Amino acid sequence: MSVRPIIRPDNPILRKKATRVTVFDKKFQTLVDDMVETMLDAPGVGLAAPQVAVSQRVVVVQLPDDEKSREEYGDEAGKLYVLVNPEIIKASKEVVEGIEGCLSIPGYVGLVDRHEKVTVAAQDQNGKAFRKKADGWLARVFQHEIDHLEGRLYIDIAKDVWKPEPEENEE
């Protein structure tokens, strides 16, 4: 496993629609392992393959696993999700506004509207199909990362983007 460089918006791979994963071989498993290590090293809660310059439809997500997160997210805290070829198949009518950042756009955050709840159909890292219902922050992270697979960045849909003051970063 190794930490891979995270690319910035000037790299055209971030703006390309990623291709479906059809081969779940050792090379693919290494990509998934490297993505998890890169996400945790960054540190972040989600990472899409295009962010490490691989135009494939794979996302890794892991919410924090500290006491505050366990209180707020319950069983979702610390759970690792590997979503291969993910697709949002259902989204709530309720949309909520929230602040998002991105490992490919360090130092900035933006105000983005997202569906409160989503259902995602995907495959796991071995190719087995599954569905996952998510709400709150997990739903937001899934939507953010799946946007990367479409070549879309949060800054494309944000109402506002800014560089937070140091005290804002602590929140």
Average model confidence (pLDDT) for the chain?
95
The question of whether 67 is a catalytic residue gets the answer: no
pLDDT for 54-103, tens place per residue?
Answer: 999 999 999 999 888 888 888 888 999 999 999 999 999 999 999 999 99
> What is the percent of the chain with per-residue pLDDT over 90, rounded to a whole number?
87
CATH code for position 102? 3.90.45.10
Range of the domain at 150: 12-170
Examine residue 101 and state whether it is found in any structural domain, yes or no: yes
67-95: burial string, b at 16+ Cβ within 10 Å, e else: eebeeebeebbeeebbbbbbebeebeeee
In a domain, 151, yes or no: yes
Q: For residues 120-131, give the mean pLDDT.
A: 98
For the chain, the domain total comes to 1
Query: What confidence score (pLDDT) does residue 166 get?
Result: 77
Residue 160 domain-assigned (yes or no): yes
The model's confidence at residue 168, banded by pLDDT at 50, 70 and 90, is low
Is residue 133, in this structure, part of any structural domain at all?
yes
Question: What integer pLDDT is reported at residue 72 of this predicted model?
Answer: 86
pTM of the model: 0.94
Q: Which of 37, 116, 145, 171 is catalytic?
A: 145
Residue 135 banded pLDDT, cuts 50, 70, 90: very high
Whole-number CA gyration radius for the chain: 15
Residue 130 lies in a domain: yes
Q: Is residue 131 part of a domain?
A: yes
Residue 158 lies in a domain: yes
Whether residue 7 lies inside any domain: the answer is no
SS3 at position 51: helix
